[in-house]
């Protein structure tokens, strides 16, 4: 490095030191720049051969440095020019401020010089204000003296209901009062103060009757509006006058409010009592008049049977009022009043309140039906709010529901509960009448088909059908609830009916001679159940499919209760048949029976009598009774055989026993021939067991008994070893080996009971066999 460069470097370092002393940031920036340069140079000249390009890098950096210096000089130059322009502007502003200050000083001196002249004008201002007040007083003196006479005249006009003239006088008085107040306010406002209390009291004293006139006129107007319906039919002129006054007042209110808004709302205050808002008051009075018409109704005559008449009268009154409003009053008011829609809305609101009060009473079912029918069907029908001329007005009034959905549900629930109470009472009375009929000393009544019946099913059926029909007039939902309630009550009735049948049977067993028509009324009860079943199924079919899940309680099951009652009645009928057969059953399968044939004909005679009575029962219970009688006879016959009243001693005895059993079977089949003619009701005829047992007894070869028992067990799988043992004993010729083989066969087979098979041997108990006891010291025979 040359000596010049060293001097230059030294000068630069000295400059940098001096700059760092002034600006520390410069030193920090210089250090960062040197560090960045060293880092760059160490990366570029890391190898000796790279020094060959040193001149290129020096030239490039020199060009870059000169470019940066040029831009810095340009920027500094523009900055200095801006600073110079700003200083020039500040000099000009200082000069202008100096001129303004001198001008203000001169104006202050001139104002101080004119103070004495202003003080001399204060007296002139006071004289001007006083003159204005005196001028206002002189100009208003005639009016002030005429106020009392005008007030009296206006009072007479109001009393005579000359409303338009009275309102014109009242407007004059109010105009005078407003002018005086404004003049006083204007004078005081010029003086810089508001009206004093004395001035306000003085004006109020002179115009003290104006507000009273306003109240009196309003009272007369609202009385006219309240009686608008009556006036419309006689003389609508007062109503028209009232409407015109309302419109005048509305125009005045709008004008005064607009004037006050134009002047900023603070210069001229509103007159006393403004705004009056008489149009809103007009509709309020109209609604109060409608409400008063409902309040005038005497509630004493609306309770009980008179409620339906009251609602009908209410319908005619409302429609008459609406016709008057639509055809007469609507033409007396401006179109924007929409008077019909307003009257509709007021009427609807009052009806809503009135019906809410009626619904809160302790109503009977007929009263609730009248309310529901009126609300759901009459009110919205073409005879009332659905009238073609009222539909548009009703839509414009946006009428809501007359009774809320919750209120309707409560009413329907109250209706169902009331009907249920009535139905329960009637069913209880009908059951008591039925029990009294059972004690009559004559046969039950018969229908046109000859079937027994009593009044019970007719009463129940008609009552439930009528309730469902009446409820359907309200709606399907109420019909479904009523039917559901009826099904519950039928189930309860049938449970009590079954209990009554049980008591009826107990009383008869205590004294069979007390009621000789006991069996007839049992059969009539079964026929009644058949009728009730058809009625119940008809009611269930009337229910809509959506109603099944609407009830939280367990669904009623009257058909199951009917089946239980029928089974109990059939059991009592069979008990009576068994009681009639009992005197002759001990004679079956005995020696006299084998010789003479008795008592089978007598048994058949009793069966014929019972079957004839069973024919008075409606199908399908008639077939059921005849089937039960057939089973009963077969069971009792086999039970008599199991008693071993006759034991065969020879083949001839077995032959005669089998023949007599076949004859008895023939007689019994002829007795039940009517059942067979009606159709093959039974899949397995129980009397078919008798020929099978006869064949078993008359079998000649005892060795074939095993095969015979196998066939018997396959047909009647409920037969037990005890039953077969008794049959073997009756034969009297079965050896010990054959008996053991037969018993082994039964033990090995023992087939399960097939589905639908009705056991017959289960009901037949085998009497215990008599054992022969031997003395221990002797040998048994």
Compute the CA torsion angle 170, 176, 177, 178 (nearest 10 deg).
Answer: 110
Predicted confidence at residue 275, as pLDDT, reads 84
Phi-psi region of 35 (alpha: psi -120 to 50; beta: other; left: phi over 0): alpha
Whether the predicted pLDDT of 228 surpasses 50 = yes
Phi-psi region of 277 (alpha: psi -120 to 50; beta: other; left: phi over 0): left
Q: Which of 30-44, 190-204, 643-657 has the highest mean pLDDT?
A: 643-657
Lowest mean pLDDT among 79-93, 464-478, 668-682, 733-747: 668-682
For residue 452, the cross-strand partners are 446
Percent residues over pLDDT 90 in the chain: 31
679 phi and psi, to 5 degrees?
140, 155
Percent residues over pLDDT 70 in the chain: 82
Residue 232's pLDDT band (cuts 50, 70, 90): confident
Residue 31's pLDDT band (cuts 50, 70, 90): confident
Q: Tokens for 17?
A: 């030191």
Residue 307's pLDDT band (cuts 50, 70, 90): confident
Residue 156's pLDDT band (cuts 50, 70, 90): confident
Residue 689's pLDDT band (cuts 50, 70, 90): very high
Q: Which of 33-47, 306-320, 576-590 has the highest mean pLDDT?
A: 576-590
Length of the chain (residues)? 781
Whether the pTM exceeds 0.75: the reply is no
The residues near 355 (Cβ < 8 Å, ≥ 6 apart) are 371, 375, 402, 403
First and final C-alpha spacing in the chain: 164
Predicted confidence at residue 460, as pLDDT, reads 93
Q: Which of 120-129, 150-159, 743-752, 769-778 has the highest mean pLDDT?
A: 743-752
Predicted confidence at residue 655, as pLDDT, reads 92
Residue 2's pLDDT band (cuts 50, 70, 90): very low
Query: How would DSSP label each residue in 193-256?
Result: ----HHHHHHHHHHTHHHHHHHHHHHHHHHHHHHTHHHHHHH--HHHHHHHHHHHHHHHHHHHH
Whether the predicted pLDDT of 524 surpasses 90 = yes
Instruction: Tell me which of 105 and 771 has the higher pLDDT.
Output: 105
pLDDT in tens, 340-378: 888 888 988 988 988 888 888 888 888 899 999 999 999
Predicted confidence at residue 1, as pLDDT, reads 43
Residue 505's pLDDT band (cuts 50, 70, 90): very high
Whether the predicted pLDDT of 755 surpasses 80 = yes
Burial class of residue 485 (count of CB atoms within 10 Å of its CB; 0-12, 13-18, 19+): buried
Predicted confidence at residue 675, as pLDDT, reads 56
Cis bond upstream, residue 620 (ω within 30):
yes
pLDDT in tens, 265-283: 445 567 767 788 889 999 9
> If we measure between CA atoms, which residue out of 488, 489, 467 comes closest to residue 479?
467
With beta carbons less than 8 A apart as the criterion, state whether 656 and 739 touch: no
Q: Residue 578: count other Cβ atoms within 10 Å of its Cβ.
A: 15
Predicted confidence at residue 230, as pLDDT, reads 85
């Amino acid at each position: 490095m040359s000596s010049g460069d060293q001097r230059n470097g030294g000068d630069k370092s000295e400059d940098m030191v001096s700059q760092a002393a002034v600006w520390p940031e410069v030193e920090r920036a210089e250090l960062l720049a040197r560090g960045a340069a060293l880092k760059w140079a160490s990366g570029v000249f890391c190898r000796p051969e790279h020094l060959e390009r040193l001149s290129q890098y020096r030239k490039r950096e020199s060009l870059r440095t000169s470019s940066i210096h040029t831009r810095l000089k340009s920027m500094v130059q523009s900055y200095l020019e801006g600073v110079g322009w700003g200083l020039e502007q500040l000099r000009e502003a200082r000069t202008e401020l100096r001129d303004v200050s001198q001008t203000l000083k001169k104006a202050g001196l001139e104002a101080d010089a004119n103070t004495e002249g202003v003080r001399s004008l204060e007296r002139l201002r006071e004289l001007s204000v006083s003159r204005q007040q005196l001028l206002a007083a002189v100009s208003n003196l005639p009016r002030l003296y005429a106020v009392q006479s005008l007030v009296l005249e206006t009072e007479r006009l109001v009393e005579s209901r000359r409303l338009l003239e009275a309102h014109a006088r009242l407007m004059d008085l109010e105009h005078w009062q407003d002018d005086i107040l404004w003049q006083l306010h204007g004078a005081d406002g010029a003086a810089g103060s508001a009206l004093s209390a004395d001035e306000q009291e003085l004006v109020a004293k002179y115009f003290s009757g104006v507000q009273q006139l306003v109240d009196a006129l309003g009272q007369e107007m609202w009385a006219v509006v309240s009686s608008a319906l009556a006036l419309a039919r006689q003389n609508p002129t007062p109503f028209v006058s009232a409407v015109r006054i309302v419109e005048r007042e509305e125009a005045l209110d709008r004008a005064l409010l607009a004037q006050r808004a134009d002047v900023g709302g603070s210069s001229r205050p509103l007159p006393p009592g403004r705004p009056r808002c008489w149009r809103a008051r007009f509709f309020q009075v109209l609604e109060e008049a409608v409400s008063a018409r409902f309040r005038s109704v005497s509630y004493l005559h609306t309770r009980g049977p008179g409620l339906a008449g009251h609602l009908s009268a209410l319908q005619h009154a409302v429609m008459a009022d609406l016709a008057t409003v639509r055809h007469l009053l609507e033409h007396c008011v401006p179109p924007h009043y929409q008077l019909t829609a307003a009257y509709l809305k007021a009427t609807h609101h009052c009806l809503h309140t009135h019906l809410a009060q009626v619904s809160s009473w302790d109503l009977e079912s007929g009263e609730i039906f009248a309310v529901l029918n009126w609300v759901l069907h009459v009110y919205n029908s073409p005879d009332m709010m659905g009238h073609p001329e009222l539909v548009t007005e009703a839509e414009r009034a946006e009428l809501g529901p007359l009774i809320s959905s919750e209120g309707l549900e409560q009413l329907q629930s109250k209706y169902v509960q009331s009907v249920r109470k009535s139905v329960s009472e009637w069913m209880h009375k009908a059951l008591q009448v039925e029990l009294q009929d059972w004690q009559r000393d004559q046969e039950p009544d018969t229908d046109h088909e000859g079937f027994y019946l009593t009044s019970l099913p007719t009463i129940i059926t008609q009552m439930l059908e009528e309730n469902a029909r009446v409820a359907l007039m309200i709606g399907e939902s109420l019909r479904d609830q009523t039917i559901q309630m009826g099904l519950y009550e039928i189930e309860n009735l049938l449970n009590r009916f079954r209990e009554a049948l049980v008591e009826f049977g107990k009383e008869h067993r205590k004294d069979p001679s007390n009621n000789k028509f006991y069996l007839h009324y049992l059969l009539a009860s079964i026929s009644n159940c058949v009728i009730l079943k058809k009625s119940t199924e008809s009611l269930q079919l009337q229910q809509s499919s959506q109603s099944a899940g609407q009830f939280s309680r367990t669904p009623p099951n009257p058909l199951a209760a009917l089946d239980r009652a029928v089974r109990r009645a059939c059991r009592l009928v069979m008990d009576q048949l068994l009681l009639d057969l009992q005197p002759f059953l001990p004679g079956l399968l005995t020696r006299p029976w084998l010789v003479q044939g008795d008592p089978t004909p007598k048994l058949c005679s009793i069966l014929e009598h019972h079957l004839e009575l069973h024919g008075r029962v409606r199908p399908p219970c008639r077939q059921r009774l005849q089937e039960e009688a057939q089973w009963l006879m077969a069971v009792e016959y086999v039970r008599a055989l199991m008693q071993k009243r006759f034991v065969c001693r020879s083949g001839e005895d077995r032959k005669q026993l089998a023949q007599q059993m076949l004859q008895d079977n023939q007689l019994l089949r002829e007795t039940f021939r009517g059942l067979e003619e009606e159709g093959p009701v039974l899949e397995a005829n129980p009397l078919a067991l008798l020929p099978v047992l006869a064949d078993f007894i008359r079998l000649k070869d005892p060795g074939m008994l095993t095969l015979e028992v196998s066939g018997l067990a396959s047909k009647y799988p409920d037969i037990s070893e005890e039953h077969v043992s008794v049959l073997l004993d009756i034969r009297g010729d079965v050896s010990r080996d054959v008996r053991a083989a037969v018993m082994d066969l039964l033990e090995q087979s023992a087939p399960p009971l097939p589905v639908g098979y009705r056991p017959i041997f289960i009901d037949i108990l085998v009497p215990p066999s008599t054992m022969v006891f031997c003395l221990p010291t002797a040998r048994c025979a």
